[in-house]
Amino acid sequence: MKSIPNRFYKSRLFVMIFEDREKLLELYNAVSGKDYKDPSLLEINTLDNAIYMSMRNDISFLIDARLSLYEHQSTYSPNLPLRFLLYLAELYEGMTSGLNLYGTKKVQIPPPRFLVFYNGAAPQPDRQILRLSDLYAVEETEHKLELEVLMLNINAGHNSELMVSCHALWEYAEYTGRVRNYAKELPIEAAVERAVTECIREGILKSFLQKNRAEAMRMSIYEYDEERHIRQEREDARKEGELIGWQNKLKDQVKKKLEKGKSVPEIAEALEEDEGEIQKLVEELEKEKQ
């Protein structure tokens, strides 16, 4: 199926910060327990097809013949393993282009590792593993294809050792946390302006924000609005589900009273509901019988 162009794709602040090789190497060392010193060892190969968001990941790179794929998320999604599988297939396709996959000589590929850095508002544990097998439509005793994603919570109070090991990650989390907190009482533009000004004054992402102030503010406003939109959609869906549940329960009560020979006015009075609403439910029940 052809991908649908996404004209509204925008770069992420997380990506912009960790495109800096020194900061990315610091992050890799922090999560892997390694101690590499030379940022030139990183071979960044992030999928960069911004037209098709479904085939665009945040950061992927090679170091020491290993492939790391990093994603930043402000909302939890159980589908991350499947998304990573699609990213991985695209990357492997590019790496093996021109090689004879049908030959007798073994084609070597780098082993992958998948990480998600989560800083959303919904509570999540410090660490959790998301598995591709959790998405399978049927249960199997043995999974022939598995993919595990490590999701790390980088909100304040979580994974303190990681934050100490990677100061840039702590700075990013501190900045985005301030934006979210200030936005509770200020318009988002004012909240971002306050967070940026404070962080520069306090030395948090200072050089990055001074150099990229306008772009960082634009990204922050976009990302906050997107996160809020997703939260509102989920809340609307929850309320709609509750309403449907309530209506089904009311219909069941009406059905039982009709079976006992009660009239519409009697049912409305007993259930303390509008008589017109009860009449609609009665008509629906009659149609269902036909």
Low-confidence ranges of the chain (pLDDT < 70): 1-11, 48-56, 225-246, 272, 290
**What tokens appear for 206 in the block?**
């200072």
- Amino acid code (one letter) for 97: S
- Taking the alpha carbons of 94, 97, 103, 105 in that order, is the dihedral positive or negative? negative
How many Cβ atoms are within 10 Å of 254's Cβ, its own excluded?
A: 25
Q: What is the pTM of this model?
A: 0.72
Chain centroid offset of residue 54 CA = 13
- The distance of Cα 142 from the centroid of its chain, to the nearest Å, equals 28
137-189, pLDDT tens digit by residue? 998 889 999 999 999 999 988 999 999 999 999 999 999 999 989 999 999 89
CA 57, CA 213: separation in Å to the nearest integer? 24
H helical segments located in 134-205: 160-165, 167-182, 188-202
Which structure tokens are listed for 152? 């790390």
Please give the C-alpha separations between residue 163 and each of 11, 72, 121, 156, 174, in angstroms, as whole numbers.
23, 15, 18, 9, 10
Q: What is the pLDDT of residue 48?
A: 60
Report whether 192 contacts 220 (CB < 8 A): yes
Residue 5: predicted pLDDT = 36
Q: Which residues contact 41 (CB under 8 A, 6 or more apart)?
A: 25, 63, 64
Query: Are 63 and 21 a contacting pair, CB within 8 Å?
Result: no
Q: What is the pLDDT of residues 206-237, one digit of tens each?
A: 999 999 999 999 888 887 766 654 555 555 45
Collapsing DSSP to helix, strand or coil, 59 comes out as: strand
113, 43, 20, 69 alpha-carbon torsion, rounded to 10° = -20
pLDDT at site 129: 96
Domain ranges of the chain: 1-96+107-155, 248-289
Structure tokens at 3: 């991908």
Cα(199)–Cα(171) distance, integer angstroms = 9
Please report the pLDDT score of residue 235 as a whole number. Answer: 54
CA distance 245 to 136: 28
Residue 166 sits at the vertex; the CA angle it makes with 216 and 219, to the nearest 5 degrees, is 15
To which H or E segment does residue 156 belong? none
Q: Please tell me the number of Cα atoms within 13 Å of 185 on its side-chain side.
A: 5
